[in-house]
Copies of this chain bind each other. A is one copy, B any other.
Amino acid sequence: MTDSTLPILEGAACPVPMRHDDQIVMGHGSGGRMTQELIERVFAPAFANPILAQSNDFAAFLLPLEAQLHGSLAISTDSHIVSPLFFAGGDIGRLAVCGTVNDVSMSGAQPLYLTAGFIIEEGLPVEMLERIVTSMQAAALEAGVPIVAGDTKVVERGKADGVFINTAGIGWIPAGRQIGGALARPGDAVLISGAIGDHGIAVLSARGELGFDAAVTSDVAPLNALIGAVLQAAPGVRVLRDPTRGGLATTLNEIAQQSNVCIEITEATIPIHTPVQAACDMLGFDPLYVANEGKVIVILPPDQVDAALAAMHRLPYGAEAAAIGVVKPSPARRVLMKTFIGGTRVLDVLAGEMLPRIC
């Protein structure tokens, strides 16, 4: 039986079945030999570390001695479903590592270990998976947080955007450190570690949905070193949160609600790159609601603002950090913005989906 859709290998006398080492097929998710081969070929070389090499269904490890004696643990998880898989400044792999490193870091923890769960679509070129996994490993190395456990599943063609990646992470919070969204107090200052909206616009641009090339690069980055530096310089930090989905405005609203305070920001102080603002103006988007993947909101007592900003300015991911607002007692659970023209605008949370799905 011949099938003209089957590829013909050079030199082969007749059509042969589709090569399984070039693209993902259902058997790669069977848990059998093909899964083992995929792990050995793609995942193990990239993520190689002694804990992962235990090859069990779990990773076992000791906590750092100091963490054993003092402190608590933080754990977080995030699923990544970005389309396209590659965009200016990053890809789904870098996003999956940085997203969870950052979520764990928002507790004031030092992230220690990551897990990674892959849901791969049948037909994904193995070469593409290798690029993603290589990017994950580069991000994990940059963050200093190894991937110690993983899982691979394969779903039928059309049932995932190439690949979905879930990561979970644990970290160690030093004793006495108290950071959380409910801890903002009137009088505190609100900082942002850099310009907003880059990630969302970069992803839309990569999709060709802007109708023009925005020349914007995603900010996706691991923030654990930046946050460590901020906490050393300004130990009084009360809130750390990364304005991802929903953007700066939605994240500030979450904090205002959890802390039962008003947050007032000043439009003129918010760093926004010119091409991001231009893209938003042209399309009617508000950059305050556009996703970021390498920025952190820092809320802290006013006397530590200078120290925190100086610490951020010394690091590449904090070079454009700025003080953008203050915490007030009322109107509680509201975010207000003093606009360029001197008015005050209420910033609500993002109601539904302003942009096409970007993360």
- Interface of A with B (CB < 8 Å)? 25-27, 29-36, 54-63, 68-69, 72-81, 103-104, 106-107, 109, 113, 115-119, 148-151, 153-156, 158-161, 164, 166, 168, 170-171, 173, 180-182, 241-242, 244-246, 250, 254, 258, 289, 291, 348-354, 357
Question: Helix, strand, loop or mixed for chain A's interface?
Answer: mixed
Name A79's contact: one of B109, B119, B182, B289 (CB within 8 Å).
Answer: B119
Closest partner residue, chain B, to A25 (CB atom): B352
Closest partner residue, chain B, to A121 (CB atom): B159
Beyond A58-B109, A107-B56, whether A351 also contacts B77 by CB under 8 A is: no
Could you list 8 A-B pairs, sorted by A, with CB under 8 Å? A27-B351, A29-B357, A32-B245, A32-B350, A56-B241, A68-B69, A77-B116, A80-B153
Asked if B61 contacts A72 (CB within 8 A), the reply is: yes
Asked if A79 contacts B166 (CB within 8 A), the reply is: yes
Given A34-B351, A68-B69, 20 more contacts at CB 8 Å? A26-B352, A31-B250, A32-B246, A32-B250, A32-B350, A36-B349, A54-B180, A58-B76, A59-B75, A60-B180, A63-B73, A75-B170, A76-B115, A79-B118, A117-B117, A119-B164, A149-B168, A151-B166, A155-B164, A166-B166
Asked if B77 contacts A357 (CB within 8 A), the reply is: no
A349 to B30, CA, bound (A): 10
